[in-house]
Amino acid sequence: MLFASFTPEGIELKQDINIGIATAVEEGLLVPVIRNADQKSLTEIAFSRIDNTERAKNGKLTVADLEGGTFTVSNLGMFAVDYFTAIINPPEAAILAVGRINERLTLSEGEVKSVPFFSLRLTLDHRVVDGAQGARFLEKVKALIEDPYLLLL
């Protein structure tokens, strides 16, 4: 249900997974879309993001590049922001806010270790998706971040 929207007719499930990446430019904020992200490799997604960011900064995006998103990711880590709550990009039902990477001391097997960490905050349209579904999504994202080899399975 994360890839859905609320319409006057009710909940509309989206067929495609098109990920918007919030991108800061001189004029404000743009959200170029990576289409059919679920059908792309990580390398293809990375190159699409780089291309979209460059075209956004150079004013080369088209209206089509900004339409059709089904979920947005917003990262303010480069601005030294640890935590923030992102506002949903209508008509999407969810947005993921990513904070900067920090180091944290943890105790593991009797040893103190410094490990990287960052915050993920998910904002949901509760007319479309409930908190439990959002929590399961975050659990999956956390598992993939902690063990990226799972992405290859």
Q: Which amino acid is at 104?
A: R
User: Which residues share a beta bridge with 117?
Assistant: 102
Q: Does residue 24 have a pLDDT over 80? A: yes
- pLDDT at residue 19, rounded to an integer: 98
Whole-prediction pTM value?
0.91
The pLDDT mean for the chain works out to 95
Query: Who's near 2: CB < 8 A, 6+ residues apart?
Result: 71, 93, 94, 124, 129, 133, 134, 137
What's the CA gap between 20 and 117, in Å, rounded? Answer: 23
- pLDDT at residue 1, rounded to an integer: 79
| Of the candidates 49, 124, 141, the residue with the CA atom closest to the CA atom of residue 85 | 124
Give the number of domains in the chain: 1
CATH number of the domain that residue 115 is part of: 3.30.559.10
- pLDDT at residue 138, rounded to an integer: 97
pLDDT tens-place string over residues 32-86 = 999 999 999 999 999 999 999 999 999 999 999 999 999 999 999 999 999 999 9
Burial track 70-82 (b if 16+ CB lie within 10 A, e otherwise): bbbbbbbbeeeee
For the segment 116-138, the average pLDDT, to the nearest whole number, is 96
Q: Does residue 153 have a pLDDT over 80? A: no
52 lies in which domain range?
4-152
The residues annotated as belonging to the active site are 126
For the segment 13-28, the average pLDDT, to the nearest whole number, is 95
Please report, rounded to a whole number, the percentage of residues in the chain having pLDDT higher than 90: 90
Q: How confident is the model at residue 152 (pLDDT cuts 50, 70, 90)?
A: confident
For the segment 115-131, the average pLDDT, to the nearest whole number, is 96
- pLDDT at residue 39, rounded to an integer: 95
